[in-house]
Amino acid sequence: MHGLVHRQGHTPPHINGGLKNKAVLLMEPDMDLRLMLNLLLTEDGCNVVACGSLVEALLAVSEKHFDFVITHGTPGIDGLLLLDVLRERGSATPCVVISARYEKEPCLLAKKLGALDYFTTPLDYAALQRLIHSRT
């Protein structure tokens, strides 16, 4: 999986109750990571709307309610702006941020904007599954 997502074996670990029918917004500009996460989340039963830009993500949130948001957090990327817009609108939707590398400032800003966690790649998919399941 190109080192972007770490998942043991070919079968996702069973989570009691699963992620079935969870509406997940995925905003990730990196097409490979977006496609992989979309596939994994869809295999787990989530209804995923995968976006590559802030404009697409804002359009999606204006049209649909999401149970969970996964966004990108590298400086200069619109992922943190998405969190800011959601919070300004009063949304309490659980969110996580994914980045190719750990950087202190974006991580702190993501937490300030209400992100539950800040994941780096290679992404621990099992940890992401558990977090989505625990918050939706």
For residue 61, give the H/E element and its range.
helix 54-63
Which CATH code of 3.40.50.1860, 2.60.40.10, 1.20.1270.360, 3.40.50.2300 fits the domain covering 5-135? Answer: 3.40.50.2300
Specify the pLDDT at position 135. 84
Burial 83-121 (b: 16+ CB within 10 A, else e): bebbbeeebebbbbbbbeeeeeebbebbeebebbbbbeb
27 or 121, greater pLDDT: 27
User: pTM score, two decimals?
Assistant: 0.84
Model confidence at 62, pLDDT cuts 50, 70, 90, reads very high
In this predicted structure, the answer to whether residue 17 has a pLDDT above a threshold of 60 is no
Specify the pLDDT at position 5. 61
Average pLDDT, the chain: 84
Among candidate residues 36, 52, 56, the one with its CA nearest the CA of residue 44: 36
CA 71 to CA 57: how far, in whole Å? 9
Q: Kindly report which listed range (66-75, 87-96, 113-122) carries the lowest average pLDDT score.
A: 66-75
CA 57 to CA 69: how far, in whole Å? 10
Specify the pLDDT at position 40. 94
Rounded mean pLDDT, 93-116: 87
Contact in structure between 45 and 67 (CB atoms under 8 Å): no
